[in-house]
């Protein structure tokens, strides 16, 4: 799948706008995500922190869980915007892998500048996927 520069920027802008709604009173590191499914619908997510730190939820997983809760399970692209273009955590990488190693991942900074583009397969080599489970 090939994305135009305009499509990429639109998803980055949506993630960056969502970022403003992040709940980050502890880290002060807002993250926004925008996920486009194969049906063309877009779901956004933000990181939501909690005083009990393990209960914190990442923006990428919020967007994915919103999509799945609406019946979407096939994704084309996810944009992730952080202050400095930071990469998704291991847990988010694994959740992304669950729904497709060919999903494109766009990483951008707070100014909306694309820092890196890759697939989930490149982001998580040797991913544990549903196909690895014994039948």
Domain of 74: which CATH number? Answer: 3.40.140.10
CB atoms within 10 A of CB 117: 15
> Whole-angstrom Cα distance, residue 21 to residue 46?
7
Cα separations (Å) of 88 from 39, 40, 60, 135?
Answer: 24, 23, 8, 30
Q: Which residues are catalytic?
A: 60
Nearest to 46 by CA among 66, 27, 31: 31
> Whole-angstrom Cα distance, residue 107 to residue 113?
8
Give me the number of domains the chain comprises: 1
pLDDT tens track of the chain, all 135 residues?
A: 789 999 999 999 999 999 999 999 999 999 999 999 999 999 999 999 999 999 999 999 999 999 999 999 999 999 999 999 999 999 999 999 999 999 999 999 999 999 999 999 999 999 999 888 976
- Give this prediction's pTM: 0.95
**Joined tokens for residue 121:** 């397969």
Domain that holds residue 51: 5-132
């Amino acid at each position: 799948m090939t994305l135009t520069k305009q499509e990429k920027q639109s998803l980055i802008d949506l993630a960056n706008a969502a970022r403003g709604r992040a709940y980050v009173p502890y880290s002060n590191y807002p993250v926004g995500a925008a996920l486009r499914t194969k049906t063309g619908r877009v779901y956004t997510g933000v990181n939501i922190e909690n005083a009990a730190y393990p209960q914190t939820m990442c923006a990428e997983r919020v967007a994915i869980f919103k999509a799945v809760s609406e019946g979407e399970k096939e994704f084309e692209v996810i944009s992730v915007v952080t202050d400095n273009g930071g990469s998704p955590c291991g847990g988010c990488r694994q959740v992304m892998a669950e729904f497709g190693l060919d999903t494109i991942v766009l990483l951008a900074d707070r100014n909306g500048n694309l820092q890196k583009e890759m697939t989930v397969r490149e982001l998580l080599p040797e991913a544990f996927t549903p196909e690895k489970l014994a039948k």
